[in-house]
Amino acid sequence: MNKTTKITVSIVGGSGYAGGELLRILSQHPRVSIKSVTSRQHQGKKVTLLHPNLRGFLDHLRFCSIDQLTKSDLLFLALPNLKAMNNLDQYLNLGQKIIDLSADFRLKDPDQYVKWYQIKHPRPQYLKKFICGLAEIHGPQIKKAQYVSCAGCEATCSILSFYPLLKEKIINDREIYIDAKIGSSAAGNQPALATHHPERSGSFRSYQPTGHRHTAEFLQQTQARNLYLSATAVEMVRGILITGQARLKNTDINERDLRKIYRNYYGNQPFIRIIKERQGLYRYPEPKIVAGTNFCDIGFAIQANSRRLVVIATIDNLVKGTAGQAVQAMNLMFNFPQTTALEFQGLHPI
Amino acid sequence: MNKTTKITVSIVGGSGYAGGELLRILSQHPRVSIKSVTSRQHQGKKVTLLHPNLRGFLDHLRFCSIDQLTKSDLLFLALPNLKAMNNLDQYLNLGQKIIDLSADFRLKDPDQYVKWYQIKHPRPQYLKKFICGLAEIHGPQIKKAQYVSCAGCEATCSILSFYPLLKEKIINDREIYIDAKIGSSAAGNQPALATHHPERSGSFRSYQPTGHRHTAEFLQQTQARNLYLSATAVEMVRGILITGQARLKNTDINERDLRKIYRNYYGNQPFIRIIKERQGLYRYPEPKIVAGTNFCDIGFAIQANSRRLVVIATIDNLVKGTAGQAVQAMNLMFNFPQTTALEFQGLHPI
Amino acid sequence: MNKTTKITVSIVGGSGYAGGELLRILSQHPRVSIKSVTSRQHQGKKVTLLHPNLRGFLDHLRFCSIDQLTKSDLLFLALPNLKAMNNLDQYLNLGQKIIDLSADFRLKDPDQYVKWYQIKHPRPQYLKKFICGLAEIHGPQIKKAQYVSCAGCEATCSILSFYPLLKEKIINDREIYIDAKIGSSAAGNQPALATHHPERSGSFRSYQPTGHRHTAEFLQQTQARNLYLSATAVEMVRGILITGQARLKNTDINERDLRKIYRNYYGNQPFIRIIKERQGLYRYPEPKIVAGTNFCDIGFAIQANSRRLVVIATIDNLVKGTAGQAVQAMNLMFNFPQTTALEFQGLHPI
Amino acid sequence: MNKTTKITVSIVGGSGYAGGELLRILSQHPRVSIKSVTSRQHQGKKVTLLHPNLRGFLDHLRFCSIDQLTKSDLLFLALPNLKAMNNLDQYLNLGQKIIDLSADFRLKDPDQYVKWYQIKHPRPQYLKKFICGLAEIHGPQIKKAQYVSCAGCEATCSILSFYPLLKEKIINDREIYIDAKIGSSAAGNQPALATHHPERSGSFRSYQPTGHRHTAEFLQQTQARNLYLSATAVEMVRGILITGQARLKNTDINERDLRKIYRNYYGNQPFIRIIKERQGLYRYPEPKIVAGTNFCDIGFAIQANSRRLVVIATIDNLVKGTAGQAVQAMNLMFNFPQTTALEFQGLHPI
């Protein structure tokens, strides 16, 4: 493929927040031609009706029905959980390659779907065919993949920040505590009392003190033996911040060593920044600084004279946690520069 | 009635925000016994399920159905618009006295319901029997009233701040511009896309640049000839702030005169504060300072060497704009001290 | 003292947020007469200039200098840390009894001041004379106390929620992880870049991932051997939410047992509510629901088939975490009903 | 200049919000090489210390002192008001061309500086040499300009939305009322009590009910005879929303006519969008939708059967209102495509 040819891309389920974010990013991708975007509910309407930030960019694009789709080089599935797995055959015919943004092909072991989603997976043979979309960990496989499944937003943040520590076996893998603070956009665009503004505004709500499904992804990816994950919905639209606590196996490990480990794993990764400053306000990662970007910012602190390690990490759940992760994977799959269309730096102040 | 006897009170439509606020205020009223609270949708459930701030105060109260109601000394109707007017007979039998919080009996001329609500009012003969609940203007009539209809929240703020100016005929009554900034709780507790947190959060949305229904109330109460009202939904849960602009008829009028006029009208009113400071941060009214209170704070500024007047006023839409106004009216109707159960001062910082 | 006599009260350091909150609460206390309020910086100004919510309540009160103070029945010290300890003699002469809201007399062991505050305490002999202000734990001593020292705001929330669990020895006291989410008012009323609105707004900032000073109070009060406390400044003005994680010693303990333990300790306490619902939005404690109130709401969850316990608790840092705690202690010290002037229920929606 | 040559650019006053936004935009401009950035206060520090969103983009850039500056092709002055005018000679030597972001050269008549800024302008002969930076109105002159002065943020929004209406003489130019809602970043990055988070958060503060300085710019640019501008600081970091009210001279003018007028003036302008929808949530302009972008979104409504017109417009004060306007002007001055480095679409949801 020469350097100016465009690939054709279609999106199934384009009216949600993940779909809108895909459209935003892809609309400025020089190697992508957006062919079709489906929406059952909004068929026939302009995409800018639901994604008002795209006015002036995608004015002529309208949602179509799935029946109007023809085969694309790449098909994005941006559907609610449990949809893609049940219509897989149809989608296999509509995309030379497929990137799924839902949870439907994230877990490799079908039993885990029984445990965490209370369903029997209808297409277990496909679970291993979908490569996890975390480019920092699975980059080489993604380059060759036909099917990619993006990691969950909370899982993305937790996995990327803990992966090097667990791989290097420097922390106790039975004693990992993560407190995740999550913005309202992670709940999708369907109104409900829980997200009604007077109820959700100013809220700090423990909506999943135990039993968060992303636990399964974390354990699968990191091979840790345990994760104690608590999730709190906080006053924020976009973003996830995790505050992780763990125990170093060895008291000799210092912050310089940690920096080196992260550099070894992520030194060449364009979307990981290690944030640990001695001055200024922004010494550790903060979600508002990465809003709109594809960054995963990671910081850490070791308590003086102890084996206690605190890990702080943040992403924009709709970008690195969903649509940006997907486009980054697409860039790898089609041999485009990895950062294409993902160059936004984020805003400050905001 | 001696000084410790309690009246019995019931609330029809107690699961909404107005109903919850009535319960909050009445639960600390020493002369009120809450008898029943109805909710079609939540019948049988504890009121604290919907009003979590009342845990520990009204733990044993449950929503009942309208059929379970028996006659009370006072019946509050806290229903969506167009409900009370259609079931009026039933309610007339359930309350010795009635206070309606909806728009159903606010306008005295049935034609205004055709114009602003596109309906033919089913009980026009009752329109004049309901006294407007603004104690600062209709106090003496409320004391003797059997039926009271509370003013709309935006109307309350605009009327109270402009009434003395129009009554004293010091401003041009054809050239009044009001820009109203309104919190999300004014839209009620039913989820919708417009109030879905990711959409409504951080929003400054011109939802009614023209055609706001409260215009009718303002004109009725003040006898002004015109009002140009624009309403913007802003990032706030509770509260209304109006910024009004008007033209003084006479260039001789100064801010001292205005202060005197307001004092003449409201000097004895416990819930009107004139806010106009030369120092400090809070020189003019601000909605967060009145949140939870029954105050209407009013400020003003005259542009130097001009006839231009700016009026700034604020209320908590759920208190002075709804439930607090109702309880204040109740206090007058039953000859209780006017401020009973409405003493909350508001919080700072907040 | 008969039932209507008033005590005289003065406040040293009345221009800050704790001082303002004391004034708000005391202004409606039927047994208290506010005598004087000092402020070095704002001497001579009206208290309502800094506390605008008190307009109409304390209009005639002005800040005075410390030199103008004469002896009161009770002196509140609402100063920044390290002030009260250095001027103690002066204050001892100005109050029959004293309640200190700072950190100056919280730790009983002078070495702890060296460790956590890097100072040699100037009056170590007074450390044990000050009784901790947590009424739920030290009620009987407070009743007889001459000097009371209020617990820190974060400490209050963590101690109250973990105290029964540690006292009953049902959790491992070496493995307690607390993630504290803290509003901006906890940083006081002095402007700084860290609290400049464009920087602080929307912020989720790990300002103390390790080394939080309130660790010392927690360990002192609960006798736990370790606490891993991380603090995040969040987008909120008032309030603290803690998400604690701990390990039960015994797999047999269920949530019913926990409820019983909390009931045993706090069943008669008017300001502790156990919040654990199966329905509705507010199943666990949330800071906005307690804003303005003196409640400490406590909830919990045990992960199915595990020894993992999550504890969730919240307070308003300026009320139960500071001024409300102080007034509750005052009520005990002077034999007033414990809840006097602390009856505010909180608002919903907010 | 061929299509890949870069111009050299320096920024005087790069530590503020305007400076940071310039750096953000310029760091992705393919035709610009950032040479130096000055800051008196932060000399020697990394620019990312103050602008954390630029980590990974401008890691090696440090603030220098003005004395270290050598001549650039273009000099941006991003200083507080009244600085550039007093050091003009120095700056004239440091930039082949100059773009000033302050108010120092906005008003053409030196008497207006006396009236609105209470100063005698030190270099009145330069006032007419600085061309106003609003490309939509002064594009041809900017292309040839050596010196450009960017319009104020509030003025930009008001002028762009009213200019065509006044130029076409369809509204009464003595009766224009504008209510401006303004985010906290417009006040700059210096901490003060007014912007202290607990005070400013949730604030709707009439900080300038009359006497707003941008009135002078509006009158100068539009030749209107009067403007009644009231400004309210609202709960927002970035953004300005204006709600304007005016009277049409002719009752025959309908919304279709207005659309045509705006199209005639701005149809070819890449950064003006006319927002007036019949469906969806975003029927009129909203500041959050333009955050981070260079758009000025303009909408309008005519009240049925009346001459009343409401105009609604929004910009990001730091982009179209400051740094984006400056870069757009730079693009014109150096014959780059007008939209270069200003392509960001904005985010939704946000």
**Largest Cα–Cα distance in chain D?**
64
Residues of B known to be catalytic: 153
Quote the minimal CA–CA distance from A304 to chain C in Å.
Answer: 8
Residue D331 buriedness (CB in 10 A; 0-12 / 13-18 / 19+): buried
Quote the minimal CA–CA distance from A94 to chain C in Å.
Answer: 41
Range with the lowest mean pLDDT among A2-6, C141-145, D66-70?
A2-6
B2 pLDDT higher than 80: no
C265 pLDDT higher than 70: yes
Question: In B, what residues contact A, Cβ < 8 A?
Answer: 17, 183-185, 189-193, 195-202, 237
Domain with CATH 3.40.50.720 in chain D: 7-151+320-333
Task: Determine whether the interchain pair B348/C51 forms a contact, defined as Cβ–Cβ distance below 8 Å.
Answer: yes
B81 pLDDT higher than 90: yes
Any idea which residue has 């929003």 for tokens? B203
- Picking from D197, D199, D207, D318 by the largest number of C CB atoms within 10 A of its own CB, the best residue to mutate is D197
Task: Determine whether the interchain pair C192/D191 forms a contact, defined as Cβ–Cβ distance below 8 Å.
Answer: yes
Residues in CB range of D210: below 8 A, 6 or more apart:
B301, B302, B303, B304, B308, B310, D230
pLDDT bucket at C2, cuts 50 / 70 / 90: low
Average pLDDT along chain B? 97
Query: What is the per-residue pLDDT for A247?
Result: 97
Residue of C nearest to B287 (CA): C53
Query: What is the per-residue pLDDT for B251?
Result: 87
What does the block give as tokens for D301? 């409504």
Residues in CB range of D198: below 8 A, 6 or more apart:
B349, B350, C17, C183, C184, C185, C189, C195, C237
The secondary structure of residue B6, as a DSSP letter, is -
A46 pLDDT higher than 60: yes
Residue of C55, C295, C346 with shortest CB distance to B273:
C55
The dihedrals phi and psi of B260, each to the nearest 5 degrees, come to -65, -40
Query: What is the per-residue pLDDT for A126?
Result: 98
Region C135-145: mean pLDDT is 98
C-contacting chains (≥3 CB pairs under 8 Å): A, B, D
How far apart are alpha carbons D321 and D337 in whole angstroms?
Answer: 20
Residues in CB range of A140: below 8 A, 6 or more apart:
none
Task: Determine whether the interchain pair A198/B191 forms a contact, defined as Cβ–Cβ distance below 8 Å.
Answer: no
Residue of A nearest to C232 (CA): A243
On chain C, the residues whose CB falls within 8 A of the CB of D197 are 184, 195-197, 200-201, 237
CATH number for the region D153-317 comes to 3.30.360.10
How far apart are alpha carbons A313 and D28 in whole angstroms?
Answer: 26
Residue of C184, C196, C200 with shortest CB distance to D189:
C196
Query: What is the per-residue pLDDT for C251?
Result: 87
Beta bridge partners of B97: B74
B1 pLDDT higher than 70: no
Region B115-132: mean pLDDT is 97
On chain C, the residues whose CB falls within 8 A of the CB of B17 are 349
Quote the minimal CA–CA distance from D285 to chain B in Å.
Answer: 8
Quote the minimal CA–CA distance from B148 to chain D in Å.
Answer: 32
How far apart are alpha carbons D300 and C41 in whole angstroms?
Answer: 49
Q: Are C236 and C253 in contact (CB under 8 A)?
A: no
- Picking from A49, A53, A196, A203 by the largest number of B CB atoms within 10 A of its own CB, the best residue to mutate is A196
A264 pLDDT higher than 70: yes
Q: Are A243 and A287 in contact (CB under 8 A)?
A: no
Residue B60 buriedness (CB in 10 A; 0-12 / 13-18 / 19+): exposed
C1 pLDDT higher than 70: no
How far apart are alpha carbons A174 and A227 in whole angstroms?
Answer: 7
Task: Please identify every stretch of chain D with a pLDDT value under 70, giving residue numbers as ranges.
Answer: 1-2
Is B7-151+320-333 in CATH node 3.40.50.720?
A: yes
Tens of pLDDT, residues B4-30: 799 999 999 999 999 999 999 999 999
C212: helix, coil or strand? coil
Average pLDDT along chain D? 97
On chain A, the residues whose CB falls within 8 A of the CB of B185 are 198
Q: Are A106 and A219 in contact (CB under 8 A)?
A: no
Q: Give the full edge-to-edge strand order of the sheet including A240-247.
A: A205-208, A228-233, A177-182, A240-247, A308-315, A296-302, A272-274
Question: In A, what residues contact D, Cβ < 8 A?
Answer: 17, 20, 24, 27-28, 45, 49-57, 185, 189, 237-238, 270, 273, 275, 277, 279-282, 286, 289, 291-292, 295, 343-350
Q: Are C296 and C305 in contact (CB under 8 A)?
A: no
Query: What is the per-residue pLDDT for C154?
Result: 97
Q: How far is CA B102 from CA B38, B288, C242, in A?
A: 16, 24, 40
How far apart are alpha carbons B29 and B31 in whole angstroms?
Answer: 6
Question: In C, what residues contact B, Cβ < 8 A?
Answer: 17, 20, 24, 27-28, 45, 49-57, 185, 189, 237-238, 273, 275, 277, 279-282, 286, 289, 291-292, 295, 343-350
Quote the minimal CA–CA distance from B318 to chain C in Å.
Answer: 9
The angle at the Cα of D48, spanning D42 to D52, to the nearest 5 degrees, equals 120
Query: What is the per-residue pLDDT for D4?
Result: 78
Task: Determine whether the interchain pair B197/A193 forms a contact, defined as Cβ–Cβ distance below 8 Å.
Answer: no
Region B61-70: mean pLDDT is 97
The secondary element (H helix, E strand) that includes residue D206 is strand D205-208
Quote the minimal CA–CA distance from C16 to chain D in Å.
Answer: 12
Buried b (16+ CB within 10 A) or exposed e, C108-139: eebebbeebbeeebebeebbeebbbbbbbbbe
Question: In D, what residues contact C, Cβ < 8 A?
Answer: 17, 183-185, 189-193, 195-202, 237
How far apart are alpha carbons C191 and C197 in whole angstroms?
Answer: 10
Tens of pLDDT, residues B267-308: 999 999 999 999 999 999 999 999 999 999 999 999 998 999
Task: Determine whether the interchain pair A51/D348 forms a contact, defined as Cβ–Cβ distance below 8 Å.
Answer: yes
Task: Determine whether the interchain pair A193/B189 forms a contact, defined as Cβ–Cβ distance below 8 Å.
Answer: yes
How far apart are alpha carbons C296 and C158 in whole angstroms?
Answer: 10
Task: Determine whether the interchain pair A289/D53 forms a contact, defined as Cβ–Cβ distance below 8 Å.
Answer: yes
How far apart are alpha carbons C338 and A253 in whole angstroms?
Answer: 51
Task: Determine whether the interchain pair C55/B349 forms a contact, defined as Cβ–Cβ distance below 8 Å.
Answer: no
Q: Are C131 and C148 in contact (CB under 8 A)?
A: yes
Q: Classify residue B277 as left (phi > 0), alpha (psi -120 to 50) or beta.
A: beta
The closest alpha carbon to B184, from D235, D313, A234, D348, belongs to D235
Task: Determine whether the interchain pair D197/C193 forms a contact, defined as Cβ–Cβ distance below 8 Å.
Answer: no
Task: Determine whether the interchain pair B302/D210 forms a contact, defined as Cβ–Cβ distance below 8 Å.
Answer: yes
Query: What is the per-residue pLDDT for D31?
Result: 98
D-contacting chains (≥3 CB pairs under 8 Å): A, B, C
Task: Determine whether the interchain pair A179/C179 forms a contact, defined as Cβ–Cβ distance below 8 Å.
Answer: yes
Task: Determine whether the interchain pair D198/C185 forms a contact, defined as Cβ–Cβ distance below 8 Å.
Answer: yes
Query: What is the per-residue pLDDT for A55?
Result: 98
Domain with CATH 3.30.360.10 in chain C: 153-317
Query: What is the per-residue pLDDT for D305?
Result: 87
Residue of C nearest to B49 (CA): C280
The secondary element (H helix, E strand) that includes residue C240 is strand C240-247
Beta bridge partners of A273: A297
Quote the minimal CA–CA distance from B292 to chain D in Å.
Answer: 14
Query: What is the per-residue pLDDT for C236?
Result: 98
- How many CB pairs below 8 A link A and B? 56
A86 pLDDT higher than 90: yes
Task: Determine whether the interchain pair D191/C196 forms a contact, defined as Cβ–Cβ distance below 8 Å.
Answer: yes
A3 pLDDT higher than 80: no
Query: What is the per-residue pLDDT for A281?
Result: 96
What ipTM did this prediction achieve? 0.96
Residue of D198, D202, D209 with shortest CB distance to B310:
D209
Task: Determine whether the interchain pair C204/A236 forms a contact, defined as Cβ–Cβ distance below 8 Å.
Answer: yes
What does the block give as tokens for B104? 């159903």
On chain C, the residues whose CB falls within 8 A of the CB of D199 are 189
Quote the minimal CA–CA distance from B44 to chain C in Å.
Answer: 13
How far apart are alpha carbons A98 and A74 in whole angstroms?
Answer: 6
Q: Are A113 and A121 in contact (CB under 8 A)?
A: yes
- Picking from C179, C193, C309 by the largest number of A CB atoms within 10 A of its own CB, the best residue to mutate is C179
Region B187-196: mean pLDDT is 96
Task: Determine whether the interchain pair D184/C200 forms a contact, defined as Cβ–Cβ distance below 8 Å.
Answer: no
Residue of A nearest to D56 (CA): A273
Residues of C known to be catalytic: 153
The dihedrals phi and psi of B341, each to the nearest 5 degrees, come to 70, 5
Residue of C183, C189, C202 with shortest CB distance to D196:
C189
Tens of pLDDT, residues D210-227: 989 999 999 999 999 999
Task: Determine whether the interchain pair B345/C292 forms a contact, defined as Cβ–Cβ distance below 8 Å.
Answer: no
Quote the minimal CA–CA distance from D282 to chain A in Å.
Answer: 7
What does the block give as tokens for C134? 């947590």
Tens of pLDDT, residues C274-329: 999 999 999 999 999 999 999 999 999 999 989 999 999 999 999 999 999 999 99
On chain A, the residues whose CB falls within 8 A of the CB of D26 are none
* Residues present in chain C in total: 350
